[in-house]
């Protein structure tokens, strides 16, 4: 017997269920569940799902279907026909179907759909009969079929690439329709008469033949199979592939194909279609929320062409408050829908995104899936559902993705400033936070401008999947049409990006590159500021600020995560203010304080100057003198940060970068330095020349400096112990952990440790102290360090993985130079993730594992952390958890995200 490739659903029964997402795709699994589960049995139009295995087979076998598929489809179609009492291709009572893609994970708008399949010159009369003589509806449906089919099946799936968008079949057919409307003086499609539509269909068919070289197929089965093929083809479509890259969806998952009875929301004013959420996806409030359109097909809602109406009072906004609610217009249907949505949420134990259609007063549930939500909504829902006992604590924690949490940490417009500003436009708040940028009108421009280092706001009539790249790089997205379920809103919500949709008082003049806001004209390149949480658009660049501190929901949620996580979360902070901020965010110490930071930031001029004197010294004597001069700056810098982290550990890394980095480049400064060092300008230049390195990343840096110039180590350590001693005298509890960077052999550690211990004793004596609590440790960032970690652990009390450098050396990727090839590597899929974003699980993680195993073998209580930038990346945090690290360290703003990721890692491991 052939393998089962086709799963039927409908009439209160289903062969599949929700758990079969891998096989049936998310849509197919949910249709089966809705149709067949005993707690649900919702009115789903009957149909069947062709499995993802068929897609995989199809691509593996040179676009051939597996044997037996045809028969299984035929059988399932028969069952549908029986339930519906209609027959596919029948001239009297024809069954029409849709063909839709449905991958394991939702890829909104990325793949193809063809509706009204089965409509042919033969079946048209039958459909007219079914629709009680609504001839206009039928020819409109035929017109839609011609447009969709020629585009999706005959052009795209066939791999025909038009020379320009203008020459694509869809655009050509649209032009014909526009011309007809113009000729007749119509404004809207709805004004087209039956005769107009009949004529249009004829023109369409001619054009299709002319452009694509073949007739539009008049055979229902040809339509069906070509439609199925087009769905599978769309899995490898450009847009879908690009979306998968961004979302990290594997190519080999494949898509399922859902064939389902057509129901029509456009059969008249007793018909409608809509989208709803069981809770508000923008705020998380436990309120039924949705939009609908009378006399429309489902795609009209998603596409945002007409502005939809609210389903109930709660769903009303500034922008649609004058329209009638579904609750008012069809109270009985609304009540039925309301009941179904409650049932669905209870069943799925999560907020559901529902598509429904009302055909001549009869409600059909077309789809349900877990609803996308923005960060604040995700946090609120998780907390609410946990408190409602709908879900467990662990589930609540897993309901918020790190990137959703990040949204709560987004800057917002400074409220005081905003209060005094009048918006130039208002729209729907589709993505949270505030953002400023320069206006661009196309996705291509967005990409180009951002490449030049600009920040842009992408302003579009409405967005479509072709705009995805531009949307991704933009600071924010602003559309003139569409609602909370439009393409722009869906995509932005997924990314947690600031977005406003449906700002309908605006208009765009693409030729002039102008944006008209009532009487005001804004040009390309002008600055806009968006409040994506309120839907307000402001002219100019308004100041931003953070609010996270006062967000009670966030604090409550993070408390949940802390009760689960095992990893400690520290921060990378070089200044007292960063340290304080991180502490507020929940940091449990500093994982990386870079001593050299004092030579980069504010107020660095004086210490930097002294450092340069030190670097360019010719004698140890000169160097010592400069170091003494530097001492008070170093001590104060360290002291302030130790104080800010009072009671918590602070990992202080000794001087790391190659000295050449600190040397001035401009002549004037060099001349002054030469004068101060009492050497000639030429001598100084010669000296600097000797500091130059071919590969500074692997040169004279880190502990190598401390070996060559032990006085540098001595001075830095003296500053650390002195700062701590002074704090102890002030009643504080400093806890420095002294960290040696760029170590490759234990002998380096031994030599540095001796200096540190001597200096420690000196400071103790000077301050008459018995003890200063401190630890001595090493970075593990040189690959070899991992292999000698057992020896290192004999000297070091803690390890901290410097995964940035370890990635550089492990891959042989100079971070400064990857621009010339890494983008290419990611695009070609040679690397699936940027190893500087997420720790490489094959090489770098193995190095870490070796280091940890060897280190802990020698020293059981060895403290192990990570201080590279990976410490704020959720996948990397999960890896660190699995490797048994004690803590991760990340930038202050990523501390909450790290707390969440650490908790999720625990739950995932269970």
CA angle 130, 132, 138 (to 5 degrees): 65
| Binder of a second copy out of 444, 829, 884, 909 (CB under 8 A) | 829
| Binder of a second copy out of 11, 125, 217, 696 (CB under 8 A) | 696
Binding characters for a second copy, 706-725, by CB under 8 A (x = yes): -xx-----------------
Question: Does the protein bind a second copy through residue 808 (CB under 8 A)?
Answer: yes
Binding characters for a second copy, 616-655, by CB under 8 A (x = yes): ----------------------------------------
Tokens 């929320």 label which residue? 289
> Toward a second copy, which CB reaches closer, 10 or 657?
657
Binding characters for a second copy, 674-693, by CB under 8 A (x = yes): -------------------x
The residues facing 517 across adjacent strands are 506, 520
Residue 145 Cβ, how far from a second copy at the closest point, in Å?
Answer: 41
- At residue 294, what are phi and psi to the nearest 5 degrees? -75, 140
> Toward a second copy, which CB reaches closer, 249 or 818?
818
> Toward a second copy, which CB reaches closer, 641 or 786?
786
Binding characters for a second copy, 759-788, by CB under 8 A (x = yes): ----------------------xxxx-xxx
Residue 749 Cβ, how far from a second copy at the closest point, in Å?
Answer: 10
Beta strands in 744-797 (DSSP E): 775-780
Listed ranges 181-189, 377-385, 552-560, 802-810: which one lies at the site for a second copy (CB under 8 A): 802-810
Closest listed residue to residue 28, CA positions, set 36, 38, 18, 13? 18
Distances (CA, A) of 287 to 219, 308, 314, 384, 688: 46, 18, 7, 12, 68
Determine contact, residues 459/534, Cβ cutoff 8 Å. Answer: no
Question: Does the protein bind a second copy through residue 748 (CB under 8 A)?
Answer: yes
> Toward a second copy, which CB reaches closer, 105 or 849?
849
Question: Does the protein bind a second copy through residue 59 (CB under 8 A)?
Answer: no
Q: In the sheet where 362-370 sits, what is the strand order? A: 309-310, 289-294, 272-277, 352-359, 362-370
> Toward a second copy, which CB reaches closer, 458 or 742?
742
Residue 261 Cβ, how far from a second copy at the closest point, in Å?
Answer: 44
Tokens of 896: 């909450």
**Residues catalogued as catalytic:** 487, 867
Determine contact, residues 518/421, Cβ cutoff 8 Å. Answer: no
> Toward a second copy, which CB reaches closer, 158 or 751?
751
| Binder of a second copy out of 511, 816, 860, 861 (CB under 8 A) | 816
Residue 662 Cβ, how far from a second copy at the closest point, in Å?
Answer: 15
- What's the CA gap between 115 and 142, in Å, rounded? 10
Question: Does the protein bind a second copy through residue 810 (CB under 8 A)?
Answer: yes
Question: Does the protein bind a second copy through residue 883 (CB under 8 A)?
Answer: no
> Toward a second copy, which CB reaches closer, 447 or 818?
818
Q: How many residues bind a second copy, per CB under 8 A?
A: 49
Question: Does the protein bind a second copy through residue 245 (CB under 8 A)?
Answer: no
> Toward a second copy, which CB reaches closer, 11 or 699?
699
Listed ranges 223-231, 540-548, 792-800, 839-847: which one lies at the site for a second copy (CB under 8 A): 839-847
Question: Does the protein bind a second copy through residue 827 (CB under 8 A)?
Answer: no
> Toward a second copy, which CB reaches closer, 727 or 844?
844
- What's the CA gap between 862 and 590, in Å, rounded? 17
Euclidean distance between the first and the last CA atom of the chain, given in angstroms as a whole number: 39
Residue 526 Cβ, how far from a second copy at the closest point, in Å?
Answer: 30
| Binder of a second copy out of 419, 828, 860, 861 (CB under 8 A) | 828
Distances (CA, A) of 783 to 643, 713, 810, 842: 34, 23, 7, 14
Closest listed residue to residue 742, CA positions, set 701, 790, 794? 701
| Binder of a second copy out of 695, 768, 860, 861 (CB under 8 A) | 695
Determine contact, residues 395/351, Cβ cutoff 8 Å. Answer: no
Determine contact, residues 520/539, Cβ cutoff 8 Å. Answer: yes
Binding characters for a second copy, 203-232, by CB under 8 A (x = yes): ------------------------------
3-state DSSP percent of the chain in helix, strand and coil, to 5: 50, 15, 35
> Toward a second copy, which CB reaches closer, 547 or 804?
804
Beta strands in 380-465 (DSSP E): 412-413, 425-426, 428-431, 434-440, 456-460
Question: Does the protein bind a second copy through residue 39 (CB under 8 A)?
Answer: no
Who's near 574: CB < 8 A, 6+ residues apart? 593, 594, 597, 598, 601, 641
- What's the CA gap between 684 and 689, in Å, rounded? 8
Who's near 116: CB < 8 A, 6+ residues apart? 96, 98, 141, 142, 144, 145, 148, 262
- What's the CA gap between 792 and 797, in Å, rounded? 9
Determine contact, residues 293/325, Cβ cutoff 8 Å. Answer: no
Question: Does the protein bind a second copy through residue 804 (CB under 8 A)?
Answer: no
Task: Using DSSP, state whether 425 is helix, strand or coil.
Answer: strand
Instruction: Give residues in contact with a second copy (CB under 8 A).
Output: 693-700, 704, 707-708, 742, 744-745, 747-748, 751, 781-784, 786-788, 805, 808-814, 816-818, 820-821, 824-825, 828-831, 840, 842-844, 846-847
């Amino acid at each position: 017997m052939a393998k089962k490739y086709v799963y039927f659903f409908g009439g209160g029964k289903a062969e599949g269920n929700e758990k079969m997402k891998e096989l049936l795709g998310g849509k197919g699994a949910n249709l089966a569940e809705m149709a067949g589960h005993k707690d649900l049995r919702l009115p789903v139009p009957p149909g069947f799902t062709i499995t993802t295995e068929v897609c995989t087979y199809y691509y593996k076998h040179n676009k051939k279907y597996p044997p037996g598929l045809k028969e299984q489809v035929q059988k399932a179609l028969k069952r549908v026909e029986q339930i519906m009492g209609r027959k596919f291709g029948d001239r009297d009572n024809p069954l029409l179907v849709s063909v839709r893609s449905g991958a394991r994970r939702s890829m909104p708008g990325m793949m193809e759909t063809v509706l009204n399949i089965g409509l042919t010159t033969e079946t048209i009369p039958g459909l007219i009969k079914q629709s009680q003589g609504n001839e206009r509806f039928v020819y409109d449906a035929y017109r839609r079929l011609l447009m969709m089919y020629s585009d999706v099946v005959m052009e795209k799936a066939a791999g025909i690439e038009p020379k320009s968008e203008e020459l694509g079949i869809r655009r050509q057919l649209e032009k014909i329709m526009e011309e007809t409307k113009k000729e007749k003086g119509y404004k809207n499609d709805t004004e087209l008469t039956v005769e107009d539509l009949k004529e249009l269909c004829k023109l369409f068919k001619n054009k299709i033949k002319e452009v694509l070289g073949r007739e539009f197929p008049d055979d229902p089965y040809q339509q069906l199979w070509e439609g199925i093929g087009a769905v599978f083809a769309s899995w490898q479509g450009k847009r879908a592939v690009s979306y998968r890259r961004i979302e990290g969806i594997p190519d080999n998952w494949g898509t399922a194909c859902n064939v389902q009875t057509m129901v029509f929301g456009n059969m008249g004013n007793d018909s409608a279609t809509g989208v709803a959420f069981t809770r508000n996806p923008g705020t998380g409030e436990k309120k039924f929320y949705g939009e609908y359109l009378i006399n429309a097909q489902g795609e009209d809602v998603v596409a945002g062409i007409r502005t939809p109406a609210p389903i109930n009072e709660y769903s009303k906004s500034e922008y649609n408050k004058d329209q009638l609610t579904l609750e008012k217009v069809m109270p009985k249907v609304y009540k039925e829908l309301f009941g179904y949505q409650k049932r669905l949420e209870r069943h799925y134990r999560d907020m559901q995104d529902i598509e429904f259609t009302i055909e001549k007063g009869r409600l059909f549930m077309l789809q349900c899936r877990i609803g996308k939500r923005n960060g604040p909504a995700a946090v609120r829902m998780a907390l609410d559902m946990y408190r409602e006992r709908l879900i467990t604590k662990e589930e609540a924690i897993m309901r918020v993705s790190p990137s959703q949490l990040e949204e709560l940490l987004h800057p917002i417009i400074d409220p005081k400033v905003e209060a005094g500003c009048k918006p130039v436009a208002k729209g729907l708040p589709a993505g949270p936070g505030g953002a400023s940028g320069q206006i661009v009108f196309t996705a291509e421009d967005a990409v180009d401008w951002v490449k030049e280092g600009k920040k842009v706001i992408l302003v579009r009539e409405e967005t479509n999947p072709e705009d995805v790249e531009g949307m991704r790089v933009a600071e924010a997205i602003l559309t003139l049409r569409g609602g909370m379920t439009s393409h722009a809103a869906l995509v932005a919500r997924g990314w947690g990006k600031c977005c406003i949709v449906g700002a309908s008082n605006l208009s765009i003049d693409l030729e002039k590159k102008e944006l008209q806001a009532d009487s005001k004209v804004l040009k390309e390149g002008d600055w806009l500021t968006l409040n994506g949480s309120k839907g307000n658009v402001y002219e100019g660049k308004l100041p931003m600020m953070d609010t996270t501190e006062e967000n009670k929901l966030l604090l409550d949620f993070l408390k949940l995560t802390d009760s689960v996580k095992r990893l400690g979360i520290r921060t990378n902070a070089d200044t007292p203010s960063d340290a304080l901020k991180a502490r507020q965010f929940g940091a449990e110490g500093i994982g990386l304080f870079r001593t050299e930071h004092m030579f980069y930031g504010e107020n660095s001029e004086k210490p930097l100057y002294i450092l340069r004197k030190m670097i360019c010294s010719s004698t140890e004597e000169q160097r010592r003198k400069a170091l003494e001069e530097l001492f008070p700056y170093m001590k104060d810098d360290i002291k302030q940060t130790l104080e800010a982290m009072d009671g918590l550990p602070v990992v202080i890394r000794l001087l790391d970068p190659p000295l050449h980095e600190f040397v001035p480049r401009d002549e004037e400064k060099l001349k002054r330095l030469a004068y101060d060092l009492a050497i000639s300008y030429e001598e100084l230049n010669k000296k600097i020349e000797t500091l130059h390195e071919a590969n500074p990343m692997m040169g004279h840096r880190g502990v190598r400096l401390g070996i060559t110039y032990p006085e540098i180590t001595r001075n830095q350590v003296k500053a650390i112990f002195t700062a701590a001693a002074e704090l102890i005298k002030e009643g504080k509890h400093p806890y420095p952990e002294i960290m040696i960077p760029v170590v490759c052999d234990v002998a380096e550690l031994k030599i540095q440790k001796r200096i540190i211990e001597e200096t420690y004793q000196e400071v103790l004596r000077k301050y008459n102290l018995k003890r200063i609590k401190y630890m001595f440790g090493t970075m593990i960032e040189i690959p070899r360090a991992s292999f000698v970690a057992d020896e290192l652990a004999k000297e070091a009390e803690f390890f901290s993985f410097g995964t940035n450098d370890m990635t550089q050396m492990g891959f042989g990727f100079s971070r400064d130079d990857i621009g010339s090839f890494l983008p290419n590597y990611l695009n070609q899929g040679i690397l699936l993730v940027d190893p500087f974003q997420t720790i490489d699980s094959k090489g770098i993680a193995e190095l870490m594992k070796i280091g940890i195993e060897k280190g802990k073998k020698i020293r059981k209580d060895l403290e192990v952390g990570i201080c590279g930038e990976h410490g704020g990346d959720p996948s990397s945090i999960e890896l660190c958890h699995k490797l048994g690290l004690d803590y991760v360290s990340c930038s202050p703003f990523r501390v909450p995200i790290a707390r969440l990721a650490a908790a999720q890692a625990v739950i995932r491991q269970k």
